[in-house]
Amino acid sequence: MDVYGLIGRPVEHSLSPPMHEAAYEAHSLDARYVTLEPDPDRIGEAVAGADAIGVAGLNVTVPFKQDVLPHVEPTPTAEAVGAVNTITFDDGAPEGHNTDVAGVVRAFAHHDVEIDGQSAVVVGAGGAGRAATYALADAGAETFVANRTVERAEALAADFSALGVDAGGLAALDERVPEADILVNATSVGMDAPDTSPVPADVLHEELAVLDAVYSPLRTKLLRDAATAGAETVDGAWMLLYQGVAAFERWTGVDAPVAVMNESLRDRL
């Protein structure tokens, strides 16, 4: 039996176990997916230990996505983003991937949203903001990142200067969003207080495609406002789904049963 796992703190309410186990069942794979909460001071030992005992693959979530970097060989994408959410244990050192980037790109592709040559705005400069900004800029969008703490957005833009990323504070949304084709919310706004949105409703418009990384609730205020404005809406479960799809495909080498994984996820949201 192959054992896969998720390391993070907390992980008990993660939706990844049922999503991945639904995929194993659909492909008749003899595999299990477990959640683990390693000691934050022993994260290197946790990765090496998983390798030593033959764990087939790991997902990594908050707060360890940056912490595992020194303990893996990062792919160029994971290195650029500065975070790892998937580890493969093949020959040699454990390899660190960032499938949140693929999650963003494939969520838009699923909705037939073109990225290359478009103008994109990302709100948020934390972990999800870094992944979304890199995903969009690397896929050819002219990308602006807006963040409450403007210094954090500027630091992100400096890291991605080769991709032409520009940055500012939340006030810049008033002039950036009306000109944009793509908008991503990568802040946690809308999660704990469902009637809050990081973007004023009156700047949304029908030419926009809006992805909200928040997936609980699924229909955030931002997405409700976007729908009212006539925009295309992409909920956060699509990003969550496709980062899992990309991890599954890295680990197993076979196409993921996307519809099965999607159903398993949405049954629980």
Tell me how far, at minimum, the Cβ of 154 lies from ligand NAP, in Å.
Answer: 11
- Looking from the CA of 94 toward its CB, the CA atoms found within 13 Å total 29
Of the listed pieces 17-25, 46-54, 133-141, 146-154, which binds ligand NAP according to CB under 6 A? 146-154
Instruction: Return the residue of 198, 247, 250, 252 that touches ligand NAP, per CB under 6 A.
Output: 198
Give whichever of 133 and 252 is closer to ligand NAP, judged by the CB atom: 133
* Residues 178 to 197 in contact with ligand NAP, rule: CB under 6 A: 186-189, 191
Residues taking part in catalysis: 65
> Hey, what amino acid is at 235?
D
Q: How far apart are CA 216 and CA 199, in angstroms?
A: 18
Residue 149 vs 228, nearer CB to ligand NAP: 149
Q: Quick one: 180 or 239, whose CB is closer to ligand NAP?
A: 239
Applying CB under 6 A, which part among 22-30, 171-179, 209-217, 257-265 lies near ligand NAP?
209-217
CA atoms within 13 A on the CB side of 212: 27
Peptide bond into 217 cis (omega under 30): yes
Closer to ligand NAP at the Cβ: 91 or 195? 195
With CB under 6 A as the rule, give the number of residues binding ligand NAP. 26
Q: What is the DSSP letter of 142?
A: E
HSE (CB half, 13 Å, CA atoms) of 36? 23
Asked if residue 126 binds ligand NAP (CB under 6 A), the reply is yes
Q: How far, in Å, CA of 170 to CA of 191, rounded? A: 18
Find the binder of ligand NAP among 32, 110, 152, 266 (CB under 6 A).
Answer: 152
**Which one-letter DSSP state was computed for residue 117?**
T
**Using CB under 6 A, which residues numbered 212 to 231 contact ligand NAP?**
213-215
Measured CA to CA, the distance from residue 243 to residue 264 in angstroms comes to 15
CB atoms within 10 A of CB 259: 9
Q: For residues 37 and 22, give the distance between their C-alpha atoms in angstroms, rounded to a whole number.
A: 22
Return residues touching ligand NAP (CB under 6 A): 62, 100, 103, 124-129, 147-149, 152, 186-189, 191, 198, 213-215, 236, 239-240, 243
